[in-house]
Structures are given as structure tokens and as C-alpha cells.
Chains A and B, each alone.
Chain A
Amino acid sequence: MASVPAPEVLRAPLVVEFPFTRSLGPVQSAFLTGLRERTVLGVKTHDGRTLVPPVEYDPVTAEEIRDLVEVAATGTVTTWAWNHEPRRGQPLGTPFAWVLVELDGADTALLHALDAPGPDAVRTGMRVRIRWAAERVGAITDIACFEPYDGARDERRPEPHAGEFDEPVTGIVAAARLDYTYSPGRAQSAYIHALSERKTVGERCPSCRKVYVPPRGACPTCGVGTAERVEVGPRGTVTTYCIVNIKAKNAMNDAIEVPYVYAHIALDGADLALHARIAGIPYDEVRMGLRVEPVWTDGGRYPDHYRPTGEPDADYDTYKELV
């Protein structure tokens, strides 16, 4: 099969979403539980600085630090940036300023959002205070945002705090979601297009002449590009297999009874085995060398499974390189 013009680029949405469950150390636990109780805690370094938000180890010396103090809910902006187009997940849905705020009593700054009418209302050095979230759970988002405040700096030295609260939070669940538009590239696009015509297409390496299925655009042995398309199959040989005894926990495979066989299949003309389910034969009669063919279901975008062709088994020498 000669090279043909590249088909249109395929695209599909890909969403990566995962709730990360993270445990908290003693200092983080006290800080986040404190936010729930509208109390802001910092931690003292051995050289006398107060870090807010507090961390478990001194960022300069790496010493373990555990001495907590309570600081004010008011502070001073040390730098800012006007964000006129809030993005998903950010603290406010209306235009706001990102700010670093040095809370009264702290020596370091906390990153958060400032609710202000516009950039002209924000400057470095301005006084702000915490606006607490109505529902607080023990998370950084218990601070809804900061708001402008016209009071002077609280000059009191921060008082030591035991960091003890009823029902402290010991972990957070951080939801993370990223959206992608996936494009499989030239070679894999061609493979997927061919599948839509119920054909399986590989690519031949110009150097070692091996035919790779599915093609990825490069020969992993020679490190050169592949372009010559070769139709393979549709029949093939089982090179190895396994028996699955655990039912899959997703709707797509719900109808598949266990035990079933999952096999590596070397399609005729291919130098790389792909894998698929074997059906149409009792699971304990599947064997290496069994000749199989694809079974397509209506609307299926790839073979649903492979079944025996009834041909004599292939000789081991014909597929041993692919096991």
C-alpha cells in the first residue's frame, strides 16, 4: 500500500481529574484548623522570624520548627497584580487583585485574592483584612479573600498559641482537574482512520523492514521514522494469553463473564503483536498458535473480540519472534 495523503488531524477531549487526599503535618493541621476557627497561626523560626503561612521546616536552615503564635487577621499588601479575567478555580469570579499580604505580626507574606473595585483601588502598602468564608472546613479557602481595611497596623507581638483545637483537620482533599484536547499524531491518526473502515494498518520501518501495529511514527529499534503504510490481518495467531478471573468494574465490560481470555495476537503481516479478548471458544481451550479473526459489532470502532477461524494451529516457528 503506497503512502496516501495524510487524513485530517483527529482531536478528542481528554479530562484528567483526580481528588488528591493529602495528610497534614502538625503545623499545617494547626494552621488549617485555625482558619476554620477564624484564628491565624504562624510559626517561629529559631532566629525569631514568624512565618505565615506556617511550615514544618525552616525554609532557610531546614530546621524542624513547631512553636506556633497567633497573628492578626489584618495586614499589609507587599505586592499585587490585577487579574481582570478570573480563571476556573480562583477565589473570586469577579475581577480581583492577586496579593501577597504580610499579616500584622508576621515576617512573611501569604498569597491570596483581594476583592477591590479596580486596579486604581489597589497599591502596595495598602491595609487589608481577611474576609472569612461563610462555610469553613479547614482549608486555605476558608479565607474567602482579603478586603480593604482602614485600620492601622497591629503592633502587638504575636502571642504563643498551643495550636490545639477540638476536632482538628488531619488531611485535605485537593480536587485537581485539567482539560486537554488530545491529538494522536500522524501515524496513530492513520491507524484510527483505517479502523473506521474495519481495516488494521501498520507502518514499515525503512531500515529493519519490520511492520509495527499500531504504528507510532517511529521504529523503536532503529529510531527512524516510519511512513510506508501496510494493511495487516485481518486474521492472526495467538502468541500468548492469560485467563482473567476478576470481573472488570466498568460498564463497558459488565457483560463479559469471567473467566475470559485476553491474548496477544500477531496479525498476519505484522511484526508486533497487539492484544484483544478471545471469545467463541471455551476459555480453557485457548492455546498458543490458535488462529483467530476479528469480530466487529455494529457501531464498534475496533474489533470487539477475536474468535477461532477453524484453521490448523500455526507452527511455533512462524510466531516465536513475537512472543
Chain B
Amino acid sequence: MRPVRDVAVVAFGQTDHLRSTDELSEVEMLMPVLHEVLAATGLRTSDIGFTCSGSSDYLAGRAFSFTMALDGVGAWPPISESHVEMDGAWALYEAWTKLQTGEADTALVYSYGKSSPGSVRDVLTRQLDPYYVAPLWPDSVALAALQAQALIDAGETDEPALAGVAHRSRADAAANSHAQLSGSVARGEYVVRPLRTGDCPPVGDGAAAVILAAGEHARGLCERPAWIRGIDHRIEAHGIGVRDLTDSPSTRLAAERAGVFERPVDTAELHAPFTSQEVVLRKALDLGDDVTVNPSGGALAANPMMAAGLIRIGEAAARIHRGACDRAVAHATSGPCLQQNLVAVLEGDAR
């Protein structure tokens, strides 16, 4: 979709992403990030027109777990609020839509996930087809490995090339103080062949938040707003045996609708938890070697469930805020083997 109203990301914050945050409840983990983005804009909760969050009860093992996190927002007097049981990138899409309607001028979007209490590889099996697939308990690494092997068979990549993606991502993450896994990381042993530990994201806990603002509000809150010029999301069949795992037509279509291909981008923040998925996304988004991909280190450096997609949008926006980027594509994914994909184009004002 293209905006009828200019909306920008004006602030972004994220926690340090850690293997375990046993000493903190979800709200205790999330609250500092909410305070960070509010402080960056000078806004108070009562100034925010719409609040939207993303999280998953399956990570917490508790129903309506997101209601506890709302304590960190300070939802009194009552606020206009919504929640998606998805990555925060989709919460951002809902908030962006709300701002397009003119119902609100500012929005707070946040999401968080603690993978540490459970076994995320197994938890994610519960999102699969309950009749034909879930009873077999194919974990998230196994499904990604089937996709990786399909890419190798098709000659699109090989194990050394995948190791190169891992190496570059974690080397870049050395400049990201929030990253969980950075610097020199061993390729490691096979987890599910052909994927090694180095091809897989770290399992960890973390949270992120952004503030969106429309038109002149944005200019008043941020020196160089990151304008969302287009945003779209598309979904493919849930049966992975129905899909071509070496391609991502949903990503390509979402990118077309968002206007990615109209002008070159200089930066891409791709939500590719597994090295092999970056190969697919680069192809679908037609990214050349001149594009800086995942300068943050991406999901291979920190993959807090439900927040890693929102962080891609936030990282792209933050580079625009800093003047390190003029036009970026940000991508978020959900479901097995890149089943659902959200693509956003962000731009800074010409300098």
C-alpha cells in the first residue's frame, strides 16, 4: 500500500538481547525500551494516539500474556490500544493503517519475546498445519534445513557461501551493542544438515519499540524522520510441499506493492533467521552487491521472537535518522520457510 498521508518512524529502541532474562518479567524487560522511545520524542503515554503491540502466548506458556506487558505503558486514562499475535512488524502495519485513516497522529508500537522459558524449536511447531504436519513435530531448524537443501540442489548457494553470510552478519554485529552473537563465531556442527549452529539464529529474549508520527508531527519529533513510503505484506500457502522453497513470490509481490523497485535502495534490513533465507530474500528483492545488507547483523546476531521483524524496520529507520542511509528496504517474516512476508520502504528527506 502507498500512503495517503505521510507517516514516519521517529524513534526506535531495543533491549540488549540475551540468552536468558530469568530475573525479569516481560514487563520488566520491556519497560525501559518504552521509556527510551518516549524520552527520545518528549511524548508521554497520554500524548500517543494509538498503541499496538505484538507478542505470542506460546512463548510465555500463558493465555493473554500481553495484558501484563500493558502495565509498562501506563494505560490510564484508558488508551486506544490493539494487539497482534505476531511479530511487532505487523503491529506497526496496523498502527500505520490507523494513522492513514486520520484517527490518530502518533502511535507507539512495541513487541517482545522471551524464548528462554520454553524450547522455541518445539514451540514453533504449534503454528503448523494441525492435521498433516504438527503431529510429526518438525522443528523450526528442520524446516529451514529443507529449504537450505533445496537451494543447494538448485545451485543457488552452497555451505561455504552460507558460512559467508553468517560470518559477515556477526562481523557487522560487532558494531551493534544490543547484539547477542557478534564477532568471530564458529560454523559449528550440523544442527539439522545442511544447517550448522552458525547458520541458525541465537535463541534469546528481547524487546523493541518504535514511535510513528504523521506529517508535521513527525518533523517536530525527529530531526530526520524515516518516512514509510510504502508497506505491504503477503502470504503463501502453509503447505511447504506446495511452494517453491527456493523463491519468495510473496516477498517480491509485497515489495512491488510497497514501491521497492521504483528507485534503488542503499540499505536492506532483512529478517532472515537462517543464512539460507538471506539467499532467497536477496533474489526476491533483486538486491545487488552495492546494497548494504543487514548492517545491524540481522536476526543471525539477535533473534528475539516477535521483535526481530520490528527491529529490522527500526534499524533501517535509525540509519536514516543518523544520516547513514537515504532509502532502505525493511523486511519481516513469519511462519515456516518465509511463509509470510512484510516489506516496507523507508526514506529520509533529501539532503
A-side residues, CB < 8 A to B, are: 6, 9, 11, 14, 16, 20, 22, 24, 28, 32, 51, 53, 55, 59-60, 78-84, 87-91, 98, 100, 102, 108-113, 119, 124, 139-141, 172, 174, 176, 178-189, 216-225
What are the residues of chain A within 8 A of B245 when measuring CB–CB?
Answer: 79
Given contacts A84-B190, A91-B136, A141-B135, contact A216 B22 (CB under 8 A): no
What are the residues of chain B within 8 A of A184 when measuring CB–CB?
Answer: 25
B-side residues, CB < 8 A to A, are: 22-28, 31, 34-35, 45, 58, 61, 68, 70-76, 116-119, 121-123, 125-126, 130-139, 142-143, 145-150, 153, 190, 192-195, 237-242, 245
Smallest CB–CB gap between B235 and chain A, Å? Answer: 10
What are the residues of chain B within 8 A of A20 when measuring CB–CB?
Answer: 130
Task: Say whether A187 contacts B192, CB under 8 Å.
Answer: no
Task: Say whether A88 contacts B122, CB under 8 Å.
Answer: yes
What are the residues of chain B within 8 A of A182 when measuring CB–CB?
Answer: 61, 117
Given contacts A22-B130, A79-B149, contact A178 B122 (CB under 8 A): yes
Cα A9 to Cα B25 with chains together (Å) = 11
Task: Say whether A98 contacts B58, CB under 8 Å.
Answer: no
Cα A28 to Cα B130 with chains together (Å) = 11
Task: Say whether B139 contacts A100, CB under 8 Å.
Answer: no
22 A–B contact pairs at CB < 8 A?
A51-B242, A59-B237, A81-B142, A81-B145, A81-B149, A81-B194, A84-B192, A87-B122, A111-B138, A111-B241, A124-B149, A124-B153, A140-B136, A141-B135, A174-B131, A178-B123, A181-B117, A186-B28, A187-B25, A218-B31, A220-B70, A223-B73
Partner among B31, B61, B132 whose Cβ is within 8 Å of the Cβ of A223: B31
Task: Say whether B117 contacts A223, CB under 8 Å.
Answer: no
Cα A91 to Cα B123 with chains together (Å) = 17
What are the residues of chain B within 8 A of A172 when measuring CB–CB?
Answer: 130-131, 135
What are the residues of chain B within 8 A of A222 when measuring CB–CB?
Answer: 74, 76
Task: Say whether A223 contacts B239, CB under 8 Å.
Answer: no
Smallest CB–CB gap between A292 and chain B, Å? Answer: 27
Task: Say whether A83 contacts B142, CB under 8 Å.
Answer: yes
Q: Which of B70, B75, B76 lies at the interface centre, i.e. has the most chain A CB atoms within 10 A of its CB?
A: B76
Q: Which residue of A lies closest to B45 (CB)?
A: A223
Partner among B25, B153, B242 whose Cβ is within 8 Å of the Cβ of A216: B25
Cα A178 to Cα B121 with chains together (Å) = 11
Cα A188 to Cα B25 with chains together (Å) = 8
What are the residues of chain A within 8 A of B61 when measuring CB–CB?
Answer: 14, 16, 178, 180, 182
What are the residues of chain B within 8 A of A217 when measuring CB–CB?
Answer: 24-25, 27-28, 31, 71
Task: Say whether A109 contacts B118, CB under 8 Å.
Answer: no
Task: Say whether A100 contacts B131, CB under 8 Å.
Answer: no
Given contacts A79-B150, A174-B134, A220-B75, contact A183 B139 (CB under 8 A): no
Task: Say whether B237 contacts A98, CB under 8 Å.
Answer: no
Smallest CB–CB gap between A61 and chain B, Å? Answer: 11
Task: Say whether A178 contacts B145, CB under 8 Å.
Answer: no
Partner among B34, B126, B192 whose Cβ is within 8 Å of the Cβ of A81: B192
Cα A299 to Cα B240 with chains together (Å) = 53
Given contacts A91-B136, A186-B24, contact A28 B122 (CB under 8 A): no
Q: Which of B122, B131, B134 lies at the interface centre, i.e. has the most chain A CB atoms within 10 A of its CB?
A: B131
Smallest CB–CB gap between B123 and chain A, Å? Answer: 6
Task: Say whether B145 contacts A218, CB under 8 Å.
Answer: no
Q: Which of A51, A110, A188, A216 lies at the interface centre, i.e. has the most chain B CB atoms within 10 A of its CB?
A: A216
Q: For chain A, what secondary structure do more than half of its interface residues adopt (helix, strand, loop), or is it mixed?
A: mixed
Given contacts A55-B239, A111-B240, A178-B58, contact A80 B149 (CB under 8 A): yes
Task: Say whether B117 contacts A14, CB under 8 Å.
Answer: yes
Task: Say whether B138 contacts A216, CB under 8 Å.
Answer: no
Smallest CB–CB gap between B227 and chain A, Å? Answer: 28
Q: 10 more A-B contacts (CB under 8 A) besides A98-B143, A184-B25, A218-B28?
A: A16-B61, A20-B130, A83-B193, A84-B192, A87-B139, A89-B135, A140-B132, A178-B123, A179-B119, A180-B117
Task: Say whether B135 contacts A140, CB under 8 Å.
Answer: yes
Smallest CB–CB gap between A152 and chain B, Å? Answer: 21
What are the residues of chain A within 8 A of B135 when measuring CB–CB?
Answer: 89, 139-141, 172, 174
Cα A181 to Cα B150 with chains together (Å) = 36
Q: Which residue of B lies closest to A11 (CB)?
A: B22
Partner among A22, A28, A88, A220 whose Cβ is within 8 Å of the Cβ of B76: A220
What are the residues of chain B within 8 A of A189 when measuring CB–CB?
Answer: 23
Cα A24 to Cα B135 with chains together (Å) = 15
Task: Say whether B118 contacts A140, CB under 8 Å.
Answer: no
Given contacts A82-B193, A178-B126, contact A219 B71 (CB under 8 A): yes
Cα A139 to Cα B131 with chains together (Å) = 8
What are the residues of chain B within 8 A of A82 when measuring CB–CB?
Answer: 190, 192-193
Task: Say whether B239 contacts A87, CB under 8 Å.
Answer: no
Partner among B68, B117, B193, B240 whose Cβ is within 8 Å of the Cβ of A84: B193
What are the residues of chain B within 8 A of A55 when measuring CB–CB?
Answer: 239
Cα A223 to Cα B47 with chains together (Å) = 13
Task: Say whether A24 contacts B131, CB under 8 Å.
Answer: yes
Smallest CB–CB gap between A254 and chain B, Å? Answer: 26
What are the residues of chain B within 8 A of A225 when measuring CB–CB?
Answer: 28, 31
Smallest CB–CB gap between B265 and chain A, Å? Answer: 30
Task: Say whether B122 contacts A98, CB under 8 Å.
Answer: no
